[in-house]
Amino acid sequence: MTLLEARDVSAVANGRRLVDGVSLSVAAGDRLAIIGPNGAGKTTLLRMLCGALPPSAGEVRLSGRRLDRITSAERALNMAVVGQADQPDPRLALIDYVELGRVPHAGMRRMREDRDIVLEALRRTGLLPLLGRSIGSLSGGERQRAQLARAIAQEPKILFLDEPTNHLDPRARGELLELVAGFGTSVVAVLHDLALVAPFATRVAVMNNARLHALATPRDALTQQLIQEVFGIDVFRLRHPTEDRELTVFDVPNRAASPS
């Protein structure tokens, strides 16, 4: 079942085309990774998909209905966004911040049930021990998990993530995406770390110069030819030296490294 559909969407700002005629769809349970070089239009596309930015042309539909004809309250019942722009009041207690995720549901459930959902979101993101702390006292990685906890508490049908792992150490990056995949909800995520794409995504949208360069499975998107064309780096698939599985290695050129 198609949950979200973009039909030929474009974004124009100051006479410049930031996204040019992108069409794609997200089915229930899909995890779509949006990848591409800096400035390719990934965040702009994500913002149009979640309704934060009205397209200059084309349309986005949620369960068949045009996004611009759905009230923001109804949108919030279906979609949660973890973005880079979220700057909560640093004095807010973590638990109160995560409870904001329940605002779209206010009046539909008893408060007690809401509190249980918030505590469960904190537990799943490993933040229960910090629940009394203020947002301002959290580390970058903890704050990123707090944003995710708030989004989970919102119980959305579709979760939008803009670079959800940029403050996290390598192990925590994989763990966060594993956690998100475990929710079973549909996800659209802008990812910079190409190594995280294949284990996480069911489909990949490759943006380049404002256009959708490819829309494919991770295996078909992360090919040597495509990655070289779009990112200018090599990718190799190698056997794991000790385990029966394949490793995908992105070889980033570093001319500063001296040959040994």
Ligand X SMILES: Nc1ncnc2c1ncn2[C@@H]1O[C@H](COP(=O)(O)OP(=O)(O)OP(=O)(O)O)[C@@H](O)[C@H]1O
Supply the minimum distance, in Å, between the C-beta of residue 9 and ligand X.
Answer: 13
In the chain, the DSSP E strands lie at 2-13, 16-27, 31-35, 57-62, 65-66, 79-82, 158-162, 186-190, 203-208, 211-216, 234-239, 246-251
Toward ligand X, which CB reaches closer, 39 or 170?
Answer: 39
Supply the minimum distance, in Å, between the C-beta of residue 160 and ligand X.
Answer: 13
Pairing between β-strand 158-162 and β-strand 186-190 as defined by DSSP bridges: parallel
Toward ligand X, which CB reaches closer, 99 or 162?
Answer: 162
Toward ligand X, which CB reaches closer, 14 or 87?
Answer: 14
From residue 183, alpha-carbon distances to 67, 174, 180 in Å are 24, 15, 5
Which residues sit at the interface with ligand X, rule CB under 6 A? 13-14, 16, 18, 36, 38-44
Supply the minimum distance, in Å, between the C-beta of residue 10 and ligand X.
Answer: 12
Supply the minimum distance, in Å, between the C-beta of residue 37 and ligand X.
Answer: 7
Toward ligand X, which CB reaches closer, 4 or 206?
Answer: 206
Q: Residue 71 CB: number of other CB atoms within 10 A? A: 8
Q: Residue 101 CB: number of other CB atoms within 10 A? A: 23
Secondary structure (3-state) at 157: coil
Whole-angstrom distance, CA of residue 67 vs CA of residue 17: 21
Supply the minimum distance, in Å, between the C-beta of residue 187 and ligand X.
Answer: 17
Toward ligand X, which CB reaches closer, 38 or 72?
Answer: 38
